[in-house]
Structure 1
Amino acid sequence: MLKRYLILSALLVCFLTAHTDLYGQENNKQIAADLVEIAEGVLNETKAIVQACDMFIQAAETDPNNIKANFMAGQLCLETTKKPLASKYFKRVASLDAEYRFDINYLIARGYQYDQDYDNALKYYNLYRTKAIEEKNYRGLDRKMLSDVERRIFECENAKNYRANPANYKIVNVGGAINSEWDDYAPVLNEDETLMIFTSRRQEGNLNPDVFEDNFYYEDIFYSVKENGKWSPAQNIGENVNTLYFDSNIALSADGKFLYLFNDENGGDIYVSENLGNNEWSSPEPMDGAINSSFAENSISTLDGNTIFFSSNRPGGRGELDLYVATRDNRGNLTKVKNLGPTINTEYDEESPFIDYDGKTLYFSTRGREGMGGFDIFKTEYDSTTQEWSEPVNLGYPINTPDNDVFFVSTKDGKRGYYASVREDGMGFTDIYMVTVPDNSEGSETLAKEAEDLEKPDNKNVEANIQAKEEPETEETEEPAEMQPVIVMLKVRDADTRMPLESRVRLRTVEGNLEAGYERVEDGLYRFEVTTPEPTEYMLTVESDGYLFKNLKAKLPGTSPEGTEINRSIELTKLRTGVSSVLRNIYFDFNKATFTKDSYFELNKLERLLQENANISVEIAGHTDNIGAKAYNKDLSQARANAVVSYLANKGIDRRRLQAVGYGEEKPLASNDNEKDGRELNRRVEFRVVGE
């Protein structure tokens, strides 16, 4: 059924591309209306919301005045990984008919919140809040409760604070041995960090060759082992555990002997499989005792199988999902089940507990507390003397985001953690990441300790504070001068008009993804604080709707007693036919057309640009230096251009908008006489807008 709709959609787009000049605007309106009808059919008969979303976006770009196409494009963006694009389409709806939806400003704000544009999100949430108060008697289904709006405003204010003071975490994609171009999530590890088990909706290795109604492959459980410090290519865990339908892991015992799984029978139960050796696992069986009920049990964590933390929506909780603990009695039966209480559980959902190896630190995710939106990861510690849990602490940005951040697990030494997220350097939809606390001192902190320190308002330099605590006190010692941050003042302008340009900006380290906090000073002016103690190479990213993005590398000095201020101006060029840009941060393995892990950040920026500007077509051009035979270089450059096109197409960009051309060594930017200033510049990928 879905295939038929996709064919109809493709035929319409081809017709549009071929005959736009001939038939003009009226024809565009009809094609957009037809695309809307096809997309509605997809929604009615399948669950393929990603494909339906693409069709609504295409319809909205074909006819920007089609209010239904724009509204549905925004609505489905909020239900997919395209959430940051939603505001664009909801704002069009509001401009076409301000009364189309009572909650249109709320929906615009949701898109901005997901896009981490908190100033605009707060602006539109407050616009909706004012309207809801003024029209308090309105009772339509499109009215959002004021309590919900207040919560969103609270989340945005929290997020602004977390973003301005990012935690000192290094977040790294675990790479292609584990991650795929599909969804990969729910990583669990044994205590010596040599075995990782996770859930994936990939095609390769899946027991079921067919896709589900949403046009993605079924969930299967995969595993990888660490060999010589590297993760081996992931393999399917096998037919004893996986079925032809949905199978997902949720926990692994510390010794790696017991794998816990979610089974959707009986409202949602927890099953367990035993490691039989030689990568063989037993058929999963329901857990014993009082953990499973006729209600949902979604997640679990245990060190030894005697004390078990889990989530459930059974009656008696404070919210929909609460966290519970179960313990075995003297006979070894899991009969004692206790709600973890109001210190941890809220009126919102609590999910994905992970009890650390110290037996007292509990990580979990919640929709409540001082979150940024969706689920945020928190940690709490149990005091055996008072028999109480400490007030939970948010792990902060960049671990937490406005989207759902769940199923975080820590390593035994507390220096690393693993979780899944949709991030700018992802290889697929959802990827698995490793979180590391940089070891800048002899006394290494745990993730939990780092989060606590960074929440203190006077903590400008965690490393300096730690070192100061460790050095013995002496009466004669002179206090070291306080280190001042590097201030980067960034002005963004339109390249044609030279006017200030509102943009999305980010400054992060090239190695490690440590991020500088920033604030918007005024239109187009942003102030960053860089607190790394040593000179460090940073990547500056600047994006604005309808403009070419820029990713620039710069080596910034470290903190100093005097402080440093750097002023930088960036000009962005409007997207129009003929403009081009070099994608300098797309790298290939030597003499191959396969990407290195450093390429995905740039590729995903290009994907977002094409998603936001669905009316443009581009040429992807591959170039080489003059080392090697001309014919070989031409083939290699073509293969690299093809690789970029394939990646973009797999992320949902219509192939008809993409042309791959390999120019080989024909169009050098510099002399090929030397490496650094010549051949290195000539080995590149460019994109050029060839149609609007």
Structure 2
Amino acid sequence: MIKRYNMLILALCCGGGVFAQTLAQAKKWFAEGEFGKAKPVFERLVRQAPSNASYNFWYGACCYETGELQKSVPYLEKSAERKYIDGYLYLSKACYDLYRFDEAIENLEEHIYWLERKKRDTSFTDKLMEKYRMGARMIRGVENVTVIDSFVVDKNELLKAYKLSEAAGTVGALDDMQGTYYADEWGDKMILPQTDAAGKTHLYTRTKLGESWSSPQPLDGVNEAECSQNYPFLNSDGITLYFASEGKESMGGYDIFITRYDTEDGTYLKPDNVGFPFNSPFNDYLYVIDDFNQLGWFASDRYQPEGKACVYVFVPNTSKIVYDYEATDPDKLRDLARMSSIRSTWGNAEQLRNGKQRLAQATYGNEQKQHEGDFEFVVNDNSVYRKLGDFRSAQALKLFTQLQQKQKDLAALKKSLEDARYSYTQAVNPADRQRMAPGILDKEKRVNELQKEISSLTVEVRNTEIKAIKHL
């Protein structure tokens, strides 16, 4: 009996030694960022002691760090309930990534409270709190936008998913594939990123004068010295600029920003974050609007594996429309902000149908290149016209010729506007600039009006022809 008792004691001691060694190794892995190695050890421990605050924290944190976001929450909540200080911190991060921003703020405040009580440094929490509060503001203004399609592509082939009309200009990849540049439709103005000594990229503009390009000039009002700006796109109005930045007002890595050129003082206005659903805690960039086709694109690496990005195609709103924060179910609003499913954005059936038709037209025109006629006009998913003789409806044909004329007028007006802007930038005398400004503003207004007229007339031509086909 004594021999068996001693053997039992020895076994328990050896087991305890192995357990201590395993726990020490798992904690070492955790401290070194080897969360995948540490996770199975902490999983076993938390099963053995479900109420242990430390085990719940370590396992929950490992789940968070290895991408199991939802799974991490109950374990982190349990550790926070037991006043495990870092449990509050990790729980705040998980809530942030799940777009539960008010909860993220509450848990971070609790984390700060306990740090202060223990007289520990809290300075590192300032940036986190700024991001959490920004997310809380942005979730109250989620834009109601129709996303008609999405494509997962290799990042080095990103631009293949963008089907732009010639009127939208050109977006091209830099030689080192570390960003993109924009060139207008006439090829005489360019916006491009350049890298500084610290490795940050900033936006510059160049203008073609005769056969040569001007030296790059920084975009005043856009660049922040301590962070990168990249992926520029100048809208067809020549004033509205979209770009991506890793600045203080970014949620994740790159966020998409919008700014407008102030013609009076020759600088860009303070950029604004475009908000949800376009931005996320991940990298979001290369926001492009094709006014001619009434389509928009942006890229994001949210929820994508390494080396991949998702390109979303959407119908741009003429003015921002947001969901009612108070009246919308919180879970639904979070899904809309995250863009969990593009189907959830399909509230306007007509807008979706017309957008898909325009995307088919843009894709068909860029990829098929079978120009056997004078033009390409998509009537519906099954019919693409290339000659005036293809029209069945005399009224639709009449409207289409009006549409062609308006498109020519728009091209001429844009060229005139570009020339006027160039003359404005070259004017040295402030009085000359003041004299030119009203004419430029008038041209800009007419460009916007013509674009709306072309959009409306395009729909009218299509609907008139479809009606005629149905009655044949």
Q: TM-score band, normalised by the shorter chain?
A: 0.5 to 0.7
Whether the 8 Å CA contact 2:179–2:230 is kept in 1: the answer is yes
Q: Deviations over 1:294-331 (max 9, x none)?
A: xxxx433121475232153436xxxx845230426758
User: Could you tell me how far 1:36 is from its partner in structure 2?
Assistant: 8.2
User: Could you tell me how far 1:506 is from its partner in structure 2?
Assistant: 5.2
Distance 1:389 1:420 in 2: 25
AA matched with 1:168: N
TM-score computed with the length of structure 1 as normaliser:
0.38
SS at match of 1:325: strand
Q: Deviations over 1:598-644 (max 9, x none)?
A: xxxxxxxxxxxxxxxxxxxxxxxxxxxxxxxxxxxxxxxxxxxxxxx
User: Could you tell me how far 1:191 is from its partner in structure 2?
Assistant: 7.2
Classify 1:505/1:399 alpha carbon distance in 2 versus 1 (closer, same or farther; 3 Å): closer
Q: Partner residue of 2:310?
A: 432
Q: Partner residue of 2:441?
A: none
Alignment of 1:401 onto 2:280: yes
TM-score computed with the length of structure 2 as normaliser:
0.53
Classify 1:435/1:311 alpha carbon distance in 2 versus 1 (closer, same or farther; 3 Å): farther
Q: Partner residue of 1:685?
A: none
SS at match of 2:179: strand
Q: How does 1:93-492 map to 2 (within 5 A)?
A: 98=84, 105-133=88-116, 138=120, 143-145=121-123, 149-171=125-147, 174-175=150-151, 178-179=152-153, 187-189=158-160, 192-193=163-164, 254=169, 259-262=173-176, 298-303=178-183, 304=187, 306-310=189-193, 312-314=195-197, 321=200, 323-327=202-206, 336-341=215-220, 343-346=221-224, 349-358=227-236, 359-368=238-247, 370-411=249-290, 413=292, 414-423=294-303, 431-437=309-315, 446=316, 449-450=318-319, 453-454=320-321, 487=327
Whether the 8 Å CA contact 1:169–1:435 is kept in 2: the answer is no
Whether the 8 Å CA contact 1:74–1:87 is kept in 2: the answer is yes
Whether the 8 Å CA contact 1:329–1:336 is kept in 2: the answer is no
SS at match of 1:113: helix
User: Could you tell me how far 1:507 is from its partner in structure 2?
Assistant: 6.2
Structure with max Cα Rg: 2
Q: Out of 315, 320, 344, which is 1:513 matched to?
A: 344
Distance 2:332 2:128 in 1: 20
AA matched with 1:170: T
Identity of aligned residues (%): 15
Distance 1:27 1:172 in 2: 59
Distance 1:27 1:345 in 2: 60
More strand by share: 1
Whether the 8 Å CA contact 1:67–1:96 is kept in 2: the answer is yes
AA matched with 1:344: V
Distance 1:187 1:93 in 2: 42
AA matched with 1:324: L
User: Could you tell me how far 1:401 is from its partner in structure 2?
Assistant: 1.8
The count of residues paired between Structure 1 and Structure 2 equals 327
SS at match of 1:174: strand
SS at match of 1:128: helix
AA matched with 1:110: K
Distance 2:179 2:97 in 1: 26
Q: Out of 41, 49, 54, which is 1:59 matched to?
A: 41
Distance 1:78 1:305 in 2: 49
Which structure has more relative contact order (CA 8 Å, sep 6+)? It is: 2
Whether the 8 Å CA contact 1:33–1:59 is kept in 2: the answer is no
Classify 1:81/1:308 alpha carbon distance in 2 versus 1 (closer, same or farther; 3 Å): farther
User: Could you tell me how far 1:186 is from its partner in structure 2?
Assistant: 7.0
AA matched with 2:99: Q
AA matched with 2:218: N
Whether the 8 Å CA contact 1:311–1:353 is kept in 2: the answer is no
User: Could you tell me how far 1:167 is from its partner in structure 2?
Assistant: 0.6
Distance 2:161 2:342 in 1: 27
More helix by share: 2
Classify 1:374/1:120 alpha carbon distance in 2 versus 1 (closer, same or farther; 3 Å): farther
Distance 1:69 1:193 in 2: 53
Classify 1:309/1:361 alpha carbon distance in 2 versus 1 (closer, same or farther; 3 Å): farther
User: Could you tell me how far 1:395 is from its partner in structure 2?
Assistant: 1.9
Distance 2:31 2:84 in 1: 26
User: Could you tell me how far 1:333 is from its partner in structure 2?
Assistant: 6.4
SS at match of 2:43: helix
| RMSD between aligned residues | 5.1
Q: Partner residue of 1:582?
A: none
User: Could you tell me how far 1:345 is from its partner in structure 2?
Assistant: 3.3
